[in-house]
Amino acid sequence: MATVFAGWLRRRHRLRELTGALRDFLAKSAYNNRAIRKTRAVLVERISDELLQVAAELHELEPGWSVDPACRLDAVEQYWLDPYRALDDAEFALGRAQADWPDEIAKRFGNWLNYQLTRGGRLPMGDDEYHEWRGLLKKELRMIRQEVAADA
C-alpha cells in the first residue's frame, strides 16, 4: 500500500522547508520557555496547514479518483483524501462513516513528523511530541469531517 505520508509529502517543497525549520529550531533550543513553545507551535501549525492544503487539493479532484487501480492508498487515506466519493459509493460512505479515520490519520501525522525531525539522529522525539503533533491535526480533521458531512 502507498501512503500520502511517504512519497507525496516528500515532494512538497514547502513541507520540506517547514520541517527543516522546525528541526533546526528545536536543535538550537536548549530551553523550554513560553517563547520557544509558541514558536514551535506556530511551526507545527504551519506544517499541519500545509498537509491540509495537500488534502484540499485532492478534494478538488473528481470524486471517486481513489477507485482507480493505480491509486494504492489504503481505505483510511481514501476516506480522508477522496471524501466526496461517498456521495456515489454507498459502501465507501458506510466505511467512511464507521471508521475513525481522523484518529488514524492524526497518528500517521504524529509518526511522520517525529520521523522528519529525528532523521539524521539529531533530535530525540518521543511520545510527548507524537501526542502533541497528533492532537493538533486530529482537531482539524474532525472539523473537516463535519464540513464534508454537511456538504453531503
Closest CA to 92 of 80, 105, 107: 80
Domain borders along the chain are 4-151
Q: Which residue has the higher pLDDT, 125 or 140?
A: 140
For the stretch 19-62, pLDDT in tens is 999 888 888 877 777 888 888 889 988 999 999 899 999 999 99
74 in Cβ contact with 93 (< 8 Å)? no
pLDDT, residue 78, reads: 96
Distance (Å, rounded) from C-alpha 116 to C-alpha 27? 13
The predicted-structure confidence for 101-137, as pLDDT tens digits, reads as follows: 988 998 888 888 888 888 766 666 666 776 677 777 7
Residue found by looking up cell 498537509 in the block: 51
Flag whether pLDDT at 83 surpasses 80.
yes
Which cell numbers in the block locate residue 57? 487539493
Looking at 29-73, list the stretches that DSSP marks H as alpha helix, in order from N- to C-terminal side: 34-59
pTM: 0.82
